[in-house]
């Protein structure tokens, strides 16, 4: 695939496709609160898009044992999934429509999320988009979480796509940084962070409802020009 051509789109999940932030925040607050550790909504937003191990170490400290870290992470995820089962999963504006449009244009797609697979599968199944993705790259498949580029490079390899021909769709500062470090184009949607914190992206939008397949392809034409 020559440079300058849209070959694949790599999607973050939480905060980009699905509106799950409140459930994640409450689950973290429960897990940390049991241990007498405060975790505010501001703390959650600052860590949005990062892996569990990063969030736990930043909140409790690097001295935490691997065993205790795993216990906290498991508690948080079990709490989150219990909340998810009881709730309606809402897609964020424009996401499903853009996914469908990309599929109609034969653009390869993958999920590239810091979340565990047990969180990813129920969401894409309930949103009826599971068949739209040819690959899923998830948190524990890589040694380093975002802002490391590893998750996006893995997703590209799974799709057999060149990184320079990929577009990442993200909402988190760490995710945008990871995409750019991977040598990919990036669209940032301001669902979770203000636009002035996402300016490293090639395109910043308030909603994916305003983004078309042509807009994504146009990122490469702009670069070539």
Which residue range forms the structural domain that includes residue 220?
8-19+90-224
Percentage of the chain lying above the pLDDT 90 cut: 79
- The CATH number of residue 69's host domain is 1.10.150.240
Predicted confidence band of residue 216 (pLDDT cuts 50, 70, 90) = very high
Of 14, 19, 43, 53, catalytic: 14
pLDDT at 48: 77
Q: Which of 85, 109, 128 is the last residue of a domain?
A: 85
- The answer to whether residue 1 sits within a structural domain is no
**136 and 219 housed in the same domain:** yes
pLDDT at 225: 52
- The answer to whether residue 2 sits within a structural domain is no
> Is 215 a residue of the active site?
no
User: First vs last Cα of the chain: how many Å apart?
Assistant: 19
pLDDT at 224: 57
- Cα distances (angstroms) measured from residue 182 to each of 35, 85, 151, 162: 37, 34, 9, 10
Q: What is the distance between the alpha carbons of residues 145 and 205, in angstroms, rounded to a whole number?
A: 24
> Is 43 a residue of the active site?
no
- The CATH number of residue 168's host domain is 3.40.50.1000
pLDDT at 126: 92
pTM of the model: 0.84
Q: Which of 57, 85, 113 is the last residue of a domain?
A: 85
Q: Which of 46, 64, 85 is the last residue of a domain?
A: 85
Predicted confidence band of residue 1 (pLDDT cuts 50, 70, 90) = very low
Burial 126-141 (b: 16+ CB within 10 A, else e): ebebeebbbbbbbbee
Of 12, 53, 171, 202, catalytic: 12
pLDDT in tens, 154-196: 999 999 999 999 999 999 999 999 999 999 999 999 998 889 9
pLDDT in tens, 5-60: 999 999 999 999 999 888 989 999 999 999 999 999 999 988 877 889 999 999 99
- The answer to whether residue 3 sits within a structural domain is no
Q: Which of 46-50, 65-69, 204-208 has the lowest mean pLDDT?
A: 46-50
Predicted confidence band of residue 2 (pLDDT cuts 50, 70, 90) = very low
Q: What is the distance between the alpha carbons of residues 166 and 184, in angstroms, rounded to a whole number?
A: 5
pLDDT, average across residues 129-157 = 96
């Amino acid at each position: 695939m020559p440079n300058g051509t849209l070959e694949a789109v790599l999607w973050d999940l939480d905060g980009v496709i699905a509106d799950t932030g409140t459930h994640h925040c409450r689950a973290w607050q429960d897990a940390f609160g049991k241990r007498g550790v405060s975790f505010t909504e501001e703390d959650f937003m600052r860590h949005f898009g990062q892996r569990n191990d990063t969030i736990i170490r930043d909140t409790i400290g690097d001295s935490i044992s691997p065993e205790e870290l795993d216990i906290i992470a498991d508690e948080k995820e079990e709490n989150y999934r219990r909340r998810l089962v009881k709730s309606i999963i809402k897609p964020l504006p424009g996401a499903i429509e853009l996914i469908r449009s990309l599929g109609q244009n034969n653009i390869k797609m993958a999920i590239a999320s810091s979340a565990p697979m047990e969180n990813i599968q129920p969401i894409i199944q309930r949103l009826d988009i599971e068949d739209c993705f040819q690959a899923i790259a998830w948190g524990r498949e890589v040694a380093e979480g975002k802002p490391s580029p590893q998750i996006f490079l893995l997703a590209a390899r799974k799709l057999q796509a060149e990184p320079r021909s990929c577009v990442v769709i993200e909402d988190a500062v760490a995710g945008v940084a990871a995409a750019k470090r991977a040598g990919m184009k990036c669209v940032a949607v301001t669902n979770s962070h203000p636009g002035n914190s996402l300016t490293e992206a090639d395109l910043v939008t308030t909603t994916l409802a305003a983004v078309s397949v042509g807009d994504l392809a146009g990122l490469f034409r702009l670069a070539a020009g």
